Amino acid sequence: MSSVIESIETLLVDLPTIRPHKLSMTTMACQTLVIVRLRDSDGVEGLGEGTTIGGLAYGPESPESIKRNIDAYLAPLLIGQPADAVATLRARLDRHARGNAIAKSALETALLDAQGKRLRLPMAVLLGGTRHDHLPVLWTLASGDTSRDIDEAFQRLEQRRHCDFKLKIGANGVDDDVRHVAAIKEALGERASVRVDVNQAWDESTAVRGIAALQAAGIDLIEQPICARDHAGLVRLAKRFEVPMLADEAVADARDGFALAAAGFSGAYALKIAKSGGPRGALALGEVAQAAGIGLYGGTLLEGTIGTAASLHAWATLPELAWGSEMFGPLLLEDDIVAEPLAYGEFGVALPQGPGLGVALDEDKLAHYVRR
């Protein structure tokens, strides 16, 4: 008889950040992880993580709602079901529960981690096979202070930790943001690629003015400058400028990716397991992008090590990430809840080894940071 799912536990874990992390919609000084512990009748435990940004500031799911909806609605759909039927169980979740992509991503990750442990295979093998064992990782400069951001960038370069940088803009006026970004690009010169993430803060006319100035300053990529629902505007911006546009919130899943590509978009898509409902959904979006000639970027919702490891296993199966990845979430946190941290270095991160995620919890650290 095959193993069945016996229990699913969710925990809220609050971890302080190394510095305030400023975005267009909020400033973070703490990140809350929703940790899933899925236990099967054969004694195997699968780990998952659901994480968002700034409570409800970023999207419709909060850490508290992720936990509550898993506990009350999603976990009961899985308990008692065959533990190895990952695709069937994901379809069951979608059939009975709308939305809740982050919660579903955490559960799919836990299912895949358990299956990998059961078969003694890395998650990347379950997702199609490993093509890369080291993935590039950029760093987000988000202190909001120009001099501090420049110093931070040079420190990361000297440490050989990161050589690509993204700046979060949109909270200030366009002219102030452009001055800030241009000063950083001028200081770094050709030593590093500099990109910006506007997080939907501009309307289209503001975006035209801002992007023109950013393109002149030598910025390499513009992420989600306008509202996610304004596909037509994003297509117009992509056609108007030489600097590529990166669609993030505009493309949650493969259907979104197909619609935007069919409308004439060119540029890049940010893949995120959280917005696609799990690693398999993110890879489906990646396949649509590749078919349309659209570049790929491995995005994050600032997950901790468990969520970051899940993303890395997915990205490791891709032919390439033309724009790299931003899987730096654990580096933004003062502490961790895993026994062995991810190995960052040489401008990237090593794919975790071992069955499943290749990650184990530090029970003492978990007990210290779990919300009571």
CATH code, domain carrying 68: 3.30.390.10
- Mean pLDDT for 214-241 is 98
Residue 81 falls inside a structural domain: yes
365 is catalytic: no
- Pair (213, 335) in one structural domain: yes
Is the full-model pTM beyond 0.85?
Answer: yes
Residue 73 falls inside a structural domain: yes
Residue 356 falls inside a structural domain: no
- Pair (120, 130) in one structural domain: no
Pairing mode, if any, of strands 245-247 and 222-223? Answer: parallel
Least confident span in 122-126, 171-175, 241-245: 171-175
Q: State the catalytic residue, choosing from 61, 249, 303, 326.
A: 326
- Pair (57, 203) in one structural domain: no
What are residue 27's phi and psi, to 5 degrees? -120, 130
Residue 137: CATH number of its domain:
3.20.20.120
- CA neighbours closer than 13 Å in the CB half-sphere of residue 200: 15
- Pair (17, 163) in one structural domain: no
Supply the mean pLDDT for the chain. 96
Q: What b/e readout covers 49-81, taking b as 16+ CB neighbours within 10 angstroms?
A: bbbbbbeeebbebbbebbbebbeeebbebbeee
Q: Is the pLDDT of residue 136 over 80?
A: yes
Residue 61 falls inside a structural domain: yes
Polymer length of the chain: 372
- Mean pLDDT for 17-35 is 85
Which tokens belong to 130?
């490993």
249 is catalytic: no
Domains: count for the chain: 2
Residue 262 falls inside a structural domain: yes
- Pair (112, 213) in one structural domain: no
Query: What is d(CA 353, CA 372) in angstroms, rounded to the nearest whole number?
Result: 32
Query: What is d(CA 309, CA 12) in angstroms, rounded to the nearest whole number?
Result: 19
- Pair (133, 236) in one structural domain: yes
| Domain with 39 in it | 5-124+362-369
- Pair (143, 98) in one structural domain: no
pLDDT band at 16 (very low <50, low <70, confident <90, very high): very high
Least confident span in 54-68, 88-102, 110-124: 54-68
Pairing mode, if any, of strands 348-350 and 344-345? Answer: antiparallel
State the helix-helix crossing angle for 101-119 and 305-315, rounded to 10 degrees. 70
- Pair (195, 309) in one structural domain: yes
Residue 99 falls inside a structural domain: yes
- Pair (254, 339) in one structural domain: yes
- Mean pLDDT for 153-176 is 95
- Mean pLDDT for 137-163 is 95
- Pair (150, 298) in one structural domain: yes
Q: What is the pLDDT of residue 24?
A: 67
pLDDT band at 78 (very low <50, low <70, confident <90, very high): very high
Q: State the catalytic residue, choosing from 104, 168, 272, 275.
A: 168
Beta bridge partners of 40: 5
- Pair (233, 291) in one structural domain: yes
pLDDT band at 19 (very low <50, low <70, confident <90, very high): confident
- Pair (205, 323) in one structural domain: yes
